[in-house]
Amino acid sequence: MSLRRALIVALSAVLGFAVSAFSEGVNVGEPSKLRNLVPAKQVEQSATQQYSQMLKEAETQRALAHHDHPQLLRLRTIADKLIPYAERFNSRAKEWKWEVNLIGSKQLNAFCMPGGKIVFYTGILDKLKLTDDEAAMIMGHEIAHALREHARERMAKSTLTNLGASVLGELVGGGKYSGAFRLGGDLLSLKFSRSDETEADIVGLDIAARAGYDPRAGVTLWQKMMAANKNAPPEFLSTHPAGDSRIKDIERRLPDVMPLYEAARQG
């Protein structure tokens, strides 16, 4: 047990009450207010439609994993452990109809669409030979994007750019142009910023640690990812933080999340 957690437990005993593990962990502040310019339900409905279409296409191509596929069962077990801790970062998550599916593809990719629609590609599991802890780090990261509503925020920023300053003034002032925020294009094509990716790493560590997955797996995961992407572009050419920077950020956050992992193991 860490010194920090030992002090908390000791203080709890003196004061006569138990301190929940939820008082610990990461604090990433409030999500961007810009996301409020795009209706959440509209984004989630669009995500559900696109998700369903993607599954149909995968099924047609015989790439959608059957419900008893061992890797799919493994992923759904991990998700069942992570999802109960999602509400801490987004109260609406308890209303989401969560889904987890596996698609046969060589891509090293996984994602969670708005509303809790999760997909892993077999390539990321097979090529990186992910442990359960490492798979949980990826899933926690992708879930964090959905919880922090990064897609919704990116849509709002994109639409603001298109609308221009004059329309924005009217929209913010009276709200009468709120209907101008329409959802177009593919949600999967949205590119998150570096800050979005870093935030998702941090929140994902917290969620996975609470679920009993070792957050130190975030380091080994990115070591594997770097080895598999030796020809990746330099950090300044990508919205994603480079692997070594990502590892350093994760290592800096381990003292915040290791007590959660230790508590989960003891519980």
Structural domain total, the chain: 1
* Residue 199 placed within a domain: yes
* Residue 145 placed within a domain: yes
The pLDDT, as a whole number, for residue 114 is 94
Instruction: List C-alpha distances in Å: 68 to 51, 75, 193, 227.
Output: 20, 11, 36, 31
* Residue 9 placed within a domain: no
- Per the structure, the complete domain to which residue 136 belongs is given by 39-266
The CA-based angle 70-72-76, given to 5 degrees, is: 120
Q: How far apart are CA 259 and CA 215, in angstroms?
A: 10
The pLDDT, as a whole number, for residue 238 is 53
The CA-based angle 161-172-115, given to 5 degrees, is: 70
The pLDDT, as a whole number, for residue 30 is 82
Angle of helix 217-228 versus helix 243-266 axis, rounded to 10: 150
* Residue 3 placed within a domain: no
* Residue 22 placed within a domain: no
pTM (two decimals) = 0.80
Q: In the block, which residue shows the tokens 């920077």?
A: 245
The model's pLDDT over 78-111, given as tens digits with 9 standing for 90+, comes to 999 999 999 999 999 999 999 999 999 998 999 9
Collect the ranges in the chain with pLDDT lower than 50. Answer: 1-2, 4-23, 164-169, 171-185, 233-237
* Residue 11 placed within a domain: no
* Residue 182 placed within a domain: yes
Q: Which residues are catalytic?
A: 142
